[in-house]
Structure 1
Amino acid sequence: MGNRTRAQRDAITIEIGYALVSAFVLAVVTFVAVVVPADLLLDLPGAWMRGVLAGAGGLAVTVFVVRVVYVLWGYRGAPGTQPSQPGRTSPDS
């Protein structure tokens, strides 16, 4: 695993926290965006509404997982490990 500096460990912790919080917010928004219109616009019987709730819950979980993976997959490391100029592969190019 190697030796990491305190700044690198802090950066990883912040990135994980950001991934979890943003994923949670998106999951809640997704759930509400599915359930509220179904409840207000459609007069569904109880069994159908339970199905909508289950589907919205499954979609929210999927959105949560995809968001966490997307954010953490794009994480490149601690500050200072990126090239100094966007679009360049190294500062010398």
Structure 2
Amino acid sequence: METYGGRRGQTERDAITVEIGYALFSAAFAAAVLFGAVAGPAVLFELPYTMELLLLRTAMVLAPVLFLARVVSVLVRFRPGRPQPSQPGRTNPDS
């Protein structure tokens, strides 16, 4: 954004779109892995009914919480228009 309150350019809109897609994809992947790790034993093994219920309900609570936390953390870190950090390992020619 060149001026305060100005319109965003196509590059910034594309960057925001990519960042939202990354946030959603990585959050869905993390939530699925967590759900599988917590609820997996209940599905794979013969456990007492109470334990199966506890594992499934715990997974059903934790997965959406992780999903939302991941999306928020990725999008809060992203600041459009901010200069990107220099490449690591490269030295400044003036040094």
Q: TM-score range by the shorter chain?
A: 0.7 to 0.9
Higher relative contact order (CA 8 A, sep 6+): 1
TM-score by length of 2: 0.74
- Give SS of 2:68's match: helix
- Give SS of 1:43's match: coil
- Give SS of 1:7's match: helix
Cα RMSD (Å): 2.2
**Distance in 1 of aligned mates of 2:22 and 2:85:** 23
| Structure 2 residue 61 is the aligned partner of structure 1 residue 58 | yes
User: Which position in structure 1 is the counterpart of 2:80?
Assistant: 77
| Residue segments in structure 1 that go unaligned for 5+ positions in a row | 87-93
| Residue segments in structure 2 that go unaligned for 5+ positions in a row | 89-95
Q: Aligned pair in 2 of structure 1 residues 50, 21: CA closer, same or farther (>3 Å)?
A: same
TM-score by length of 1: 0.75
Q: How many residues align?
A: 84
